[in-house]
């Protein structure tokens, strides 16, 4: 029987986050604040009320470095899976959050699960990639609870599929940097924690919503 819990951890704050730049699958390393956030999450997880057996991370450095802090703190093996990368923004890789809002990326993605007007990944494609990667990981390690260290949109999209909610874009699942979301998978998928970030000091917290993101 496969493990009954998945824990999703969003990477710590990056240079791109602080500069309000949308990096998607472009490299953007953790900044000093992000490193500290990851360290606080890694320390907090030593007292979590459930044990986990291994850590999987996106190969992008911001997630892999966050995963490394966690695996070291918990003395767990760290693996990498390409399927856990952030969504590809296509023509909009590297533009500002303000410009991303002006072109209506979030609005158009929420309205259409198959939106690919940016020549990037649609919400459906990103979600299915994430779920396929998670399924493969769980089948490779049956009976284990697994920590998945990934990215804001990638995690949100995966949660929308796992929990059977709409839209696939999953704006309700956006997480703070280095926050934790845990899902119990049996007998049916359900959240036990969503965007848990109380362990991050107020001086290190950053809003999960870009400054250019205009909510409706």
Residue 43 lies in a domain: yes
Output the CA torsion sign for 60, 23, 8, 158: negative
- Rounded to two decimals, the pTM is 0.94
User: Which one is predicted more confidently, 2 or 157?
Assistant: 157
Token output for 138: 């769980």
State the pLDDT at residue 208. Answer: 83
Q: What dihedral do alpha carbons 81, 63, 89, 13 form, nearest 10°?
A: 170
Share of the chain above pLDDT 70, in %: 96
Q: How many domains does the chain have?
A: 1
- Give the pLDDT confidence of 105-156 residue by residue, as tens digits: 999 999 999 999 999 999 999 999 999 999 999 999 999 999 999 999 999 9
Residue 124: CATH number of its domain: 3.40.50.1240
**How does residue 170 score in pLDDT terms, banded at 50, 70 and 90?**
confident
Residue 212 lies in a domain: no
Residues 27, 38: contact at Cβ < 8 Å? Answer: no
State the pLDDT at residue 68. Answer: 98
- Give the pLDDT confidence of 77-107 residue by residue, as tens digits: 999 999 999 999 999 999 999 999 999 999 9
Residues 127, 168: contact at Cβ < 8 Å? Answer: yes
Averaged confidence pLDDT in the chain? 94
Q: How many helices (H) and strands (E) does the chain have?
A: 7, 6
């Amino acid at each position: 029987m496969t493990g009954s819990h998945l824990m999703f951890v969003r990477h710590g704050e990056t240079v791109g986050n602080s500069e309000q730049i949308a990096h998607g699958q472009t490299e953007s390393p953790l900044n000093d604040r992000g490193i500290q956030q990851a360290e606080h999450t890694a320390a907090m997880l030593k007292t979590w009320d459930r044990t986990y057996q291994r850590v999987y991370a996106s190969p992008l450095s911001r997630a892999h470095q966050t995963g490394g802090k966690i695996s070291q703190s918990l003395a767990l093996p760290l693996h990498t899976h390409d399927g856990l990368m952030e969504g590809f923004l296509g023509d909009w890789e590297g533009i500002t959050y303000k410009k991303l809002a002006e072109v209506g990326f979030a609005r158009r993605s929420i309205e259409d699960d198959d939106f690919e007007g940016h020549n990037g990944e649609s919400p459906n494609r990103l979600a299915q990639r994430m779920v396929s990667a998670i399924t493969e990981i769980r089948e490779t390690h049956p009976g284990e609870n697994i920590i998945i260290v990934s990215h804001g949109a990638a995690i949100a999209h995966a949660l929308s599929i796992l929990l059977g909610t709409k839209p696939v874009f999953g704006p309700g699942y956006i997480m703070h940097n280095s926050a934790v979301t845990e899902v119990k998978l049996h007998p049916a998928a359900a959240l036990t924690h969503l965007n848990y970030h109380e362990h991050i000091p107020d001086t290190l917290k950053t809003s999960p919503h870009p400054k250019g993101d205009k909510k409706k």
